[in-house]
Structure 1
């Protein structure tokens, strides 16, 4: 077997490359898969669980939470919550509802495979080893199918920027629209503070108070560093002038 068995999982992890727990889970899956260990079945289950948690963190509305309230929710609980948070359960097409039902069955199958893997992995009989290999393949294919399904569904929605952990680039269409229609001017005060006043298409104004250092720090770290170095040099020059004077 090769890593080509789970391209959907790899695509999901590449998209969420800044989610540390997800990346740790992928490392565990890769390691156990490469070593042909039955532990990759458990890693497959963990991958689906982690994928559900990542998506829920980005789309779940705190005012109407879909997250399971149990301390240790099952894989089925997490998958159900994720499907609801992505509003897939609202689709009234019967064939689509059957598809979602099949993904729930796949998640249960992964759990069953994980539970049975322990007994199979202890056998040294050739047939048992072969059966164990098929168990691993089945778990990986099932996990990849579920993660791919959830990932593609997530990419179809417009995530709420106040909830999502997605970077600025995820909202390119929204960014272009705002850049096209929203104006901006800066107003400075004598204490180093500045106010960015954004003018909306309906002429409503949104003032955003900040200061120069904060603006530089959050928009361009290199510019912040250059400004800091220039300021430090200015302080040294000022002290030198006072000593010379």
Structure 2
């Protein structure tokens, strides 16, 4: 009976999908999530490769967003460590930041150990890693699901924390959909841009025509509103 129920269960990366749904379209990452979900039961070996790749993709996206591109020589644990070191891990104005930061850092270290385990699984049992003896021992759906669940947890945490920070303090890459308050205020200040019967919102025109001018106006707005400023970002210290 249990095996029958398991056979009809289709794993979904709920956390990662929910995190991505809150931000701009990230097509490549969504494709990787879908690939993990689709291959987990049919080719479970491949989940190890895809899970590690998904975490790496999210880390590289986060670093690029904040203007700190990843070193191509970093392995996955190093990539995750560098990413978390640059994220604001605590809510703004937390009453006991030191104690809370210590607890979060312990969790981060656990995630680092998890990604190291993913790397070892990928290297030893991944389908597409380095090639392997056809008759070597294989892992099955249970272990592949563990890898996918670990990646789901890491991606959900990293991306949500990152997206929260971007809304408060835009990074190098700015996403129009993140700043509806500013866009609405800007559109109330300036007239709609008209091309014949076509009407365009001033904020959207500025965003697509001059991204740097949009960022400047956005940062000025956030400063006036008291939304842009120092918080716990980059204050976590290196995690070894």
The TM tier, using the shorter chain, reads: 0.5 to 0.7
Residue 163 of structure 1: aligned partner: 172
1:94–1:162 CA distance, 2 compared to 1 (3 A):
closer
Structure 1 residue 102: Cα displacement: 0.8
Whole-Å Cα distance in 1 between the matches of residues 152 and 85 of structure 2? 20
The alignment status of 1:50 with 2:51, answered yes or no, reads: no
TM-score of the pair, normalised by structure 1: 0.59
1 or 2, which has the higher strand percentage?
Answer: 1
Structure 2 residues not aligned, in runs of 5+: 1-5, 92-96, 203-240
Whole-Å Cα distance in 1 between the matches of residues 133 and 44 of structure 2? 8
1:96–1:39 CA distance, 2 compared to 1 (3 A):
same
1:86–1:121 CA distance, 2 compared to 1 (3 A):
farther
Residue 124 of structure 2: aligned partner: 116
Whole-Å Cα distance in 2 between the matches of residues 156 and 13 of structure 1? 12
Whole-Å Cα distance in 1 between the matches of residues 135 and 24 of structure 2? 38
Structure 1 residue 43: Cα displacement: 0.5
Whole-Å Cα distance in 1 between the matches of residues 182 and 194 of structure 2? 26
Structure 1 residue 27: Cα displacement: 3.3
TM-score of the pair, normalised by structure 2: 0.61
Deviation digits for residues 114-135 of structure 1 (CA, Å, limit 9, x no counterpart): 11214999558xxx66x43332
Residue 106 of structure 1: aligned partner: 114
Kindly name which structure, 1 or 2, has the bigger radius of gyration based on alpha carbons.
1
Whole-Å Cα distance in 2 between the matches of residues 121 and 8 of structure 1? 35
Cα-Cα RMSD: 3.6
Structure 1 residue 40: Cα displacement: 1.2
Structure 1 residue 105: Cα displacement: 0.9
Residue 189 of structure 2: aligned partner: 184
Alignment of 1:119-138 (within 5 A): 122=134, 131-138=139-146
Alignment of 1:81-230 (within 5 A): 81-88=82-89, 92=98, 93-118=101-126, 122=134, 131-159=139-167, 160-161=169-170, 163-168=172-177, 170-175=178-183, 178=185, 184=189, 212-213=194-195, 219=201
The alignment status of 1:10 with 2:17, answered yes or no, reads: yes
Structure 1 residue 94: Cα displacement: 1.7
1:72–1:161 CA distance, 2 compared to 1 (3 A):
same
- Greater RCO (CA < 8 Å, at least 6 residues apart): 2
1 or 2, which has the higher helix percentage?
Answer: 1
What is the aligned length?
A: 183
